Amino acid sequence: MEKEEDVAAQLEPCDCEEQASLGQSYTLTHFPKDDYFLLRVYSKTLEAILDAQKQILHRSPMVDTVEAEVLSHQATCRKPSHCPPGFQGRYTVKSGDTMFLIAQRFGVSLQDLIRANPHISDPNKIFPCDVLCVPGKPHQDCRIPKHCPPGFQGRYTVKPGDTMFLIAQRFGVSLQALIKANPHITDPNKIFPCDVLCVPQKHKRAEEDDEEEE
């Protein structure tokens, strides 16, 4: 069984421009008499197909031809426009993944995972580099603010390893301002993945520092 921190480390955004070619899947088939042989290769180069072709010919000398068919090619990675409140994080699909296996890995139900990803039209067909929203675990008490202060930057869902201090630094706000904007977090020293925070406006000094860097 994977350690919890190892599983959490897999929740990363996808750089789809770099990984788009990983969506290619090739099937090589041949039909000598009544025999059937299938080889599926995931690769971003044609070299793997040629290697697979050699393997088939080597194993079955009677084969005259080998058909190489491009089954599917994800030209672009499918990414969600947004994720539901309290989600654990985003996960980039890898070769061999299925919705069922991903749901098991992160401790959520298959139905909840499918429901959190309406951009995946057919849950039985996911491809490397697709990005999924991983919903919160069942019975997890996600703390969500009823409203955020005027002019706030946005809402942020806590991820594994986050602290109030680190989140404040990340968004260029003071720790006290972040705590004040989130009265639903009764103990700022105890935040958990799937808690949702209001991120207040940057304090004036941080804005001036940003302008100087530009």
Dist CA 132 CA 14 (whole Å): 10
| Residue 96 structure tokens | 């061999």
Predicted local confidence at residue 182, as pLDDT: 96
- pLDDT band (50, 70, 90) for residue 35: very low
Least confident piece of the model among 70-74, 133-137, 200-204, 210-214: 70-74
Query: Residue 181's closest CA among 157, 208, 155, 209?
Result: 155
Range 174-203 average pLDDT: 92
Predicted local confidence at residue 137, as pLDDT: 72
Predicted local confidence at residue 2, as pLDDT: 47
On the question of pLDDT at 115 being above 90, the answer is yes
What SS3 class is residue 203? coil
- pLDDT band (50, 70, 90) for residue 136: confident
On the question of pLDDT at 189 being above 60, the answer is yes
Predicted local confidence at residue 72, as pLDDT: 40
Range 133-158 average pLDDT: 85
Dist CA 57 CA 76 (whole Å): 33
Least confident piece of the model among 64-73, 109-118, 143-152, 172-181: 64-73
Q: Where are the beta strands (DSSP E) in 31-159?
A: 37-42, 67-72, 89-92, 131-134, 154-157
16 or 96, higher pLDDT = 96
On the question of pLDDT at 33 being above 90, the answer is no
Instruction: List % helix, strand, coil for the chain (3-state, nearest 5).
Output: 30, 15, 55
| Residue 70 structure tokens | 């491009």
The single-letter code of the amino acid at 161 is: G
Q: Virtual CA dihedral for 179, 139, 134, 12, nearest 10 degrees? A: 50
Dist CA 192 CA 84 (whole Å): 16
The single-letter code of the amino acid at 194 is: C
Predicted local confidence at residue 49, as pLDDT: 53
Range 183-188 average pLDDT: 94
The domains of the chain, with CATH numbers, are 4-17+76-134 (3.10.350.10), 25-72 (3.10.20), 154-213 (3.10.350.10)
User: What are φ and ψ of residue 148, in 5° steps?
Assistant: -115, 155
Predicted local confidence at residue 62, as pLDDT: 41
pTM of the model: 0.41
Per-residue burial over 160-197, b if 16 or more Cβ lie within 10 Å, else e, is: eebebeebbeebbbeeebbeebbeebeebeebebbbbb
H-helix or E-strand containing 101? Answer: helix 99-105
Helices vs strands, H then E, count in the chain: 8, 7
pLDDT in tens, 116-132: 999 999 999 999 999 99
Dist CA 211 CA 135 (whole Å): 37
